[in-house]
Amino acid sequence: MANSERTFIVIKPYAVQRSLVGEIIKRFEQKGFRLIAMKLIQASEDLLKEHYIDLKDRPFFAGLVKYMQSGPVVAMVWEGLNVVKTSQVMLGETNPPDSKPGTIRGDFCIQVGRNIIHGNNSVESVEKEIGLWFQPEELVLRAGSTSDRRADLHALFIPFPLPSLSRGPGSHKFI
């Protein structure tokens, strides 16, 4: 399906510590996105340095890696129609005070050093990040596309016989 894509999201240590994981997942599910992989892990220094390699020359790099190792994180892969762009809007600005109310960062965080969530900012970076955090067999691919759930709904509504008013042979009708 056109524009159906995947994105990679990490719920950071401060959000895990504050028990915000369920609320964050709920927002993605309510938007209609499909969770296809998730794990709670203590990220290694090597994984984090590779993940944030584009920021290695920035003055905050060492502090970011240290923060990301300060507790467990929840790594997730979501799938859906325009999920990369839409999730960026849902997350809010990288600097939490610049985020609007109603966004995840706007509602749950106030300082950039304790940012609670990471999300892809481009379709091009998605596969690289997913490949760093997940093995291909860890992605649960389900029948049907994310935005078109007709296949899922069809599986739920299996025809079953309904008795008619008469009880004779052939008196059942299927819906």
The phi, psi pair for 6, rounded to 5°, reads -120, 155
Q: Which of 51, 118, 154, 172 is catalytic?
A: 118
Does the active-site annotation cover 118? yes
Distance CA 39, CA 44 (A): 14
Catalytic residues: 118
